[in-house]
Amino acid sequence: MFQLLIVDDEPSVVDTLAHTFPWPELGIEEVLCAYSGRQALELVKRHVIDIVITDIRMPGMDGIQLIEQIRKFSTSTQIVILTGYEEFGYAKRALQLDAADYLLKPVSDESLTETIRKLTRKLTVQGEEAALHQRAAQLLREHQPALKSELLAKLLEGGSCGDAESLPLIDIPFASGEQVTLVLVRLEGQFAQYNRRDRLLIEYSIVNMAEETFGSFYQLWTCRDRHDYIVLTLCPKEISEDGDDDALLPRLCSQLQSHVARFLHGDVSIVVGNPVAFPAGLAAGYQSVVKTMRRRIGKDVGLLMTVNDIIENQSVPILKTLHEPPSLLHLFEAGRWEEVGSKLGAVFDELDQVWNDSPELLAELYHAVAFACYHYAHTNGETLSQLFDRIGETDGMPEHAKLLSVNRMREWTFRLCLKLSQENTEDIRSSRASVINQVKDYIHTHLADNVSLYALSDQVNLHPVYLSKIFKLETGEGIKEYSHRLRMEKAVHLIKNSDLKIYEITKEVGYLNTPYLIKVFKKEFGVTPQEYRDRHIAFQADK
């Protein structure tokens, strides 16, 4: 809500504007009045004024001089000037001083209402943008380490780093195409017995030791992966011409093991990968060090190993697109059905182009989809059979042996996802209909009270912007228009069927003052409330 100042040397103009307009409905919390430029300037200095409506020709300090003074200490105040046709030169000067708009006298209610609405919208957007920028900067500073860690974990799983221009915002230490080496650190021995909190403290200590150990020679970027390994991504600060880098890194890793044993009294095994290009080679390099940890170290403790340079033949194919983030399970859970379709499309493209009708890969895809369906059903509080009954899949989950061709698998998965998407859309509509009915009931029962958007949003526990959008989307009219229509209908009913005075009817339909009711009623029906009542009485008498 905003504060507005009305300035004119004619008190009747100021008082009429101040007391006959529905300012709260326009987003104005407080209206201040000034009857001279100097009085207005004093109010602007003492209060936070968002909007100033000022006449130009005033004795003493005129409107132009007032605007010049305001602009010396406030560039955000929105200024609307009142002018006559012969004063257009003044209006031009005011606009040069960054006045927001000018209105020609006599000012119509519609013009003033439209102008104030435009300015409150502008101020709201500016305030939200400034607050959002400040909050975003603060959050970025607070969460930069976590953001960096999450991004590296995403890259290791084959994800994209997004917009390259945004990377400096979170202080990524590498440039695209640079050679980096992945080092995998696994906590072992007594560390495995620690609870989650103590383990996080140990990981934090090990990362600090790594930064001290490697920091003189390498740029360092770290994260914890899904296996709870610590991943160090290293890029040499200087490239050695005599090949000492190959021996330096294992030696530093051995030092890190010694520091962990000495100061933290535990063991770690370490795998040093081969250099890869950043970021394109991260996923393959990561799979290589994880595979080495699994196949060469296994359950042994306190070992240090480098990745074997010999590339083993891949006898069993890997369906890469299926396992790239985000997973089908997460997409199902979030209801992101368009992305589900895109991911499945990429998976089937890979099957068509590379692997044909591989039974292994089709079975893997089948179980991934089935797992996602089970999880989706259970998070909705129902069994898979209940979910399938609701969407019309009455035969349940088919046996995967019946789907061992790409075409059959494609037909089943896309049909299933289409039905799930349609069911989700219908569920959203049903939920929205319930909210709309609650809002309408509240407006009906509180028409004489506060039926503002914020009061309504509190009743249904939804954000005001979201509530406003879904109400308009589902009903075809805004909340304000709906409330206005109900007020006019109730006003007509009371005029026809009660002996209440017009000022009493004003209170019954929730308006702040009688002149405003008269104005909006006449705009709606072409006559004032009293004229409407007189005509109705005359019509009844003629029957």
* pTM for this predicted structure: 0.52
**Is residue 113 pLDDT above 50, yes or no?**
yes
Rounded CA separation 86/222 (Å)? 70
pLDDT digits (tens, 9 = 90+) for 184-232: 999 998 898 899 889 999 999 999 999 999 999 999 999 999 899 999 9
Q: What is the largest CA-CA distance in the chain?
A: 113
Of residues 242 and 260, the one with the higher pLDDT is 260
Q: Which residues contact 157 (CB under 8 A, 6 or more apart)?
A: 226, 283, 286, 323, 324, 325
pLDDT in the model for residue 316: 64
Q: Which of 468, 340, 319 is nearest to 414 (CA)?
A: 340
Rounded CA separation 265/258 (Å)? 10
Percent of the chain with pLDDT over 70: 93
pLDDT in the model for residue 14: 87
Whole-number mean pLDDT of the chain? 87
CA 365 to the chain's CA centroid: 32
Band of pLDDT at residue 74, cut at 50, 70 and 90: confident
Q: Do 66 and 35 contact (CB within 8 A), yes or no?
A: no
Rounded CA separation 234/256 (Å)? 14
Taking the alpha carbons at both ends of the chain, their separation in whole angstroms is 51
